[in-house]
Amino acid sequence: MNVKNLSNIFAGKIKVYNSDISSPTTVSLADIMNGAIDIAQKRNCTDEFVKTAKENYHRFQEANRAYFIEHLPEINKPAVKKFMELPEYGDFLLPFMTDKKPGELEYLYKIASKTDAGGQIRIPSVTFPYFSEIPMERLKVLRPIIDSKNADGLWNFAPSYILSLDRFNDRQLEIMSKLAGCSVNGRCMQIIAANPHINQNRTVEIAQTLKNLYGKNLKEISFFSKDKENFFTADIQVPALYNKTATPNVKTLLVKLDNEFSPSDSIRLQPDTVNLIDKIYRNLYDNACVFSRMDLEKAVFNVQKNLPEFDRENILSVMQRLTQFANYSSLPAAAEKLAAEKIKNIYTYGGELNPVFEYFFAKKKLFSLDSSPDSFRAYFLTKNDVNNPEHMANLKKKLSDSNFKQSVKFVNLEGFSDSVNFLSDDTLLAQKTVEVLRKAKKIMLKHSALTLDEAISIVFNHKIEKTAKNLGIDILNVRLDAPGSPSVILEQMSPIMPTKELFQSCIETVANHYANTKQELHNISYNLIRYFEGMQNIFTKQRIIEDLKELNKLINTYIKDNNISAENLYYIKPHNPFTVKSYDLISKMYKNLFDIPTHKLLEVEDISELKNYPENSVFVFLDDYIGTGESMVNLGKYEQNAGKFKENVHILFAPVAAAKDGINYVNSVIRCYARGHFDAVICLDKNIKDFDNFKYTFLHSNFKQTSAGKKILGNEGFERGSQCTAFPYMT
């Protein structure tokens, strides 16, 4: 509405301008009062008009900003420019930055630009003027409180609340800052700091102890009081075969704040206990066969020696792609991409990876997939599948069934057959990098416009994509993209294993729960440590690989000592058409490692099927573990039919690890059928654990009392047959 003059209003005549400004309409005041006229008529601006207006506004803003920054001291310009890149930070904030020193601006920016899990920056533009007025020394005291987040990764305190922290005195703010650094819940920080009846020093000490013990696995600490006693509850993320993209497995600890001793007492008072833990963890780490930074640098050096035309950056970029599926931590990330394509489960009877992924998904629950009713099944295709005529013939038959074709999605894990994957040897990284780079180099010589990354994609995917096109099917290429940096590559190759701090805290937590005195705490901790020292048998993918190499040497020694030709050596995989077992996984790793010909891998349901093979043949049953031994002698129905087997044939049971009782049981079955000269158990001595030796180690009063603790720690953890053996694919 455009009012020309006041007299028009009193005369009852008002001109109302429509979208066409050149032709106003004259209306009476009565019409307006009666609601006959809508004064606030919307102007119909064209898209071009709106676009031009926006561009003009932004140009004005940029010009204003540039003018202001131009007149700033040169030393302040970089920091101010960074501020202007933050969301909703505009010209109106520039006056609040003029009197700041460069170091102060940088410090403010570090705080302001941080974001929480919800994407909220720490200091929004509307509150920046107030934050900028907080003295720098005061801001440094408040920093832990400002940066603190809750268990969901969201800010503990709103910006407006932080501006009101002056209501707390210096002592209270000091307590809150220390608690904030220990992941204490925001509300609980305030309660503890404001309550003079709480022993604040001790409360802070215990919070710091929990933080030191659990490190990044400590999600959040909460405080509560009951019956005049004070407690902490600490949420701890327990390591499992899930990476950061999977649902966390969390346990909650209850810590009484007024105990005679705290978890830190044993660390402070019993250094010998901690030294023993350090020793055990070093052994654990060494046995894990972790691919180290030095190993990576050697691999890069060897590649550069063979292919000097490729620089370090290119080599690392290729290594990242070659190791994206190097360990079990990649499974949940790959599964997320499958779930995004509405894949609900795995088609079991597909290529080489289908039964493996079905085992991981259905039996071991290592990852989750989509749950909607109209989902698909994943059918994995690798280069090995494409090069297998029998498999391709079977696939073509299946594709003639329209129901099958509509129910599956074909998946290519990028470069799986060419790479260091969760079934192959880490030490081959340099060799595989050279092979892939040479292939990529040939492609780039033919197609000069291609980048190295594009050429690598052709090496990895072209043959599978071409096969899929010829079959008339679509293929989903799964790539876990990440920077080609040493830290990323090492993380991709690192096994999932607990930190030393968490390993120690598990021992301390159990001991704290059952001990009533400091001496009992020490005794129980020591016994637990001794148990882990003798009983732990933790296998990473690479340790399995290294142990299979040693196991292969023992098998070759056996056939040599018995004058058996290597031509008569076969490997047995029990025929289980409707299920996948761990021995399938071990057999596949062994086959890949030693390039065992397909005709040497026999799938039988009953060992009696082997009667037509040459005399003096050796048949090897591979498996991951002998526990009681009962399942091992059931492989191929050995226990039922060993007595019917001809004498001049050898059967070897070759587990990666074993309990001594289990080996004794298998040997007793072998002797029962008088086959001691022909059949045997072959296992590495270092991987055989004698659990009976530890039965009497734990005759401590705490483990004999009638309680849930006895059932948990006595019967399950420390009695006959107990074990501490873990494989990377265990749930």
315-344: pLDDT as tens digits: 999 999 999 999 998 998 999 999 999 999
Highest mean pLDDT among 177-191, 232-246, 415-429: 415-429
Lowest mean pLDDT: which of 5-19, 75-89, 587-601?
5-19
550 — pLDDT class (breaks 50, 70, 90): very high
Q: Is the pLDDT of residue 436 over 60?
A: yes
pLDDT of res. 378:
94
CA 257 to chain centroid = 33
What DSSP designation does 17 have? -
Q: State residue 212 phi and psi, 5-degree precision.
A: -65, -40
Inter-CA distances, 585 with 14, 220, 359, 415, 424, Å = 87, 38, 9, 20, 11
Q: Is the pLDDT of residue 286 over 70?
A: yes
Residues 63-89, mean pLDDT to the nearest whole number:
75
pLDDT, greater one: 66 or 183: 183
29 — pLDDT class (breaks 50, 70, 90): low
CA 6 to chain centroid = 73
pLDDT of res. 410:
96
Residues 527-553, mean pLDDT to the nearest whole number:
88
Residues 137-147, mean pLDDT to the nearest whole number:
86
662-720: pLDDT as tens digits: 899 999 989 888 788 889 999 999 988 775 554 444 444 444 433 344 443 444 334 44
226 — pLDDT class (breaks 50, 70, 90): confident
| Secondary structure class of 10 (helix, strand, coil) | helix
The whole-angstrom separation of Cα 240 and Cα 329 is 10
pLDDT of res. 702:
43
Rg of the chain in Å (alpha carbons): 35
pLDDT of res. 200:
85
Q: Cβ-count burial of 693 within 10 angstroms (0-12 exposed, 13-18 middle, 19+ buried)?
A: exposed
pLDDT of res. 676:
83
Answer whether 225's CB lies under 8 Å from 192's CB.
no
**CA angle at residue 29 from 25 to 33, to 5 degrees?**
115
pLDDT, greater one: 68 or 684: 684
Q: Give all strands (DSSP E) within 22-102, no chain letters.
A: 25-28
Q: State residue 64 phi and psi, 5-degree precision.
A: -65, -45
Q: At what angle do helices 102-112 and 77-84 cross, to 10 degrees?
A: 20
Residue 574 CA neighbour count, 13 Å, CB half: 21
Express as a percent the part of the chain with pLDDT over 70.
83
The whole-angstrom separation of Cα 461 and Cα 383 is 9
Q: Mark residue 153 as left, alpha or beta (left: phi above 0; alpha: psi -120 to 50; beta: remaining).
A: left
Residue 549's CB is within 10 A of a number of other CB atoms, namely 14
- What does the block give as tokens for 243? 């990476």
- What is the β-pairing status of strands 250-256 and 229-237? antiparallel
479 — pLDDT class (breaks 50, 70, 90): very high
Highest mean pLDDT among 93-107, 442-456, 511-525, 636-650: 442-456
CA 592 to chain centroid = 25
- What is the β-pairing status of strands 229-237 and 218-226? antiparallel
The whole-angstrom separation of Cα 568 and Cα 619 is 8
pLDDT of res. 14:
53
pLDDT of res. 79:
77
- What does the block give as tokens for 344? 């609900």
The whole-angstrom separation of Cα 23 and Cα 533 is 94
Could you identify the residue written with the tokens 């995989």? 573
507 — pLDDT class (breaks 50, 70, 90): confident
The whole-angstrom separation of Cα 636 and Cα 78 is 73
Give, for 695, the enclosing helix (H) or strand (E).
none
Q: State residue 41 phi and psi, 5-degree precision.
A: -75, 135
140 — pLDDT class (breaks 50, 70, 90): confident
551-598: pLDDT as tens digits: 999 999 999 999 999 999 999 988 776 567 888 889 999 999 999 998
Express as a percent the part of the chain with pLDDT over 90.
34
Q: State residue 689 phi and psi, 5-degree precision.
A: -110, 130
Residues 40-63, mean pLDDT to the nearest whole number:
72
- 116 contact partners, CB below 8 Å, separation of at least 6: 122, 149, 153, 154, 155
The whole-angstrom separation of Cα 513 and Cα 510 is 5
Q: Is the pLDDT of residue 264 over 50?
A: no
pLDDT of res. 440:
96
pLDDT of res. 193:
87
Domains of the chain, start order: 92-261 (no CATH), 271-286+497-538+694-726 (no CATH), 293-493 (no CATH), 541-689 (3.40.50)
Q: Is the pLDDT of residue 166 over 80?
A: no
Residues 490-511, mean pLDDT to the nearest whole number:
80
pLDDT, greater one: 194 or 645: 194
Residues 78-86, mean pLDDT to the nearest whole number:
81
The mean of the pLDDT values for the chain is 81
Q: Is the pLDDT of residue 652 over 60?
A: yes
- What does the block give as tokens for 304? 């550069």
pLDDT of res. 246:
47
224 — pLDDT class (breaks 50, 70, 90): confident
What are residue 658's DSSP bridge partners? 626, 688
What is the identity of the amino acid at 583?
Y
Inter-CA distances, 556 with 198, 393, 494, 649, Å = 69, 36, 31, 16
pLDDT of res. 71:
64
What DSSP designation does 351 have? S
pLDDT of res. 706:
39
210 — pLDDT class (breaks 50, 70, 90): confident
DSSP output for 169-183: -HHHHHHHHHHHTTT
Sign of the torsion formed by the C-alpha atoms of 294, 298, 299 and 300: positive
N- to C-terminal Cα distance for the chain? 72
591-617: pLDDT as tens digits: 999 999 988 999 888 888 888 888 889
Three-class secondary structure assignment of 85-145: CCCCCCHHHHHHCCCCCHHHHHHHHHHHCCECCCCCECCCHHHHHHHCCCCHHHHHHHHHH
Residues 119-148, mean pLDDT to the nearest whole number:
86
The whole-angstrom separation of Cα 288 and Cα 297 is 19
The whole-angstrom separation of Cα 471 and Cα 386 is 11
- What does the block give as tokens for 447? 């197609």
21 — pLDDT class (breaks 50, 70, 90): very low
What DSSP designation does 704 have? T
DSSP output for 531-569: HHHHHEEE--HHHHHHHHHHHHHHHHHHHHHTT--GGGE
Lowest mean pLDDT: which of 231-240, 295-304, 629-638?
231-240
| Secondary structure class of 246 (helix, strand, coil) | coil
Q: Mark residue 593 as left, alpha or beta (left: phi above 0; alpha: psi -120 to 50; beta: remaining).
A: alpha
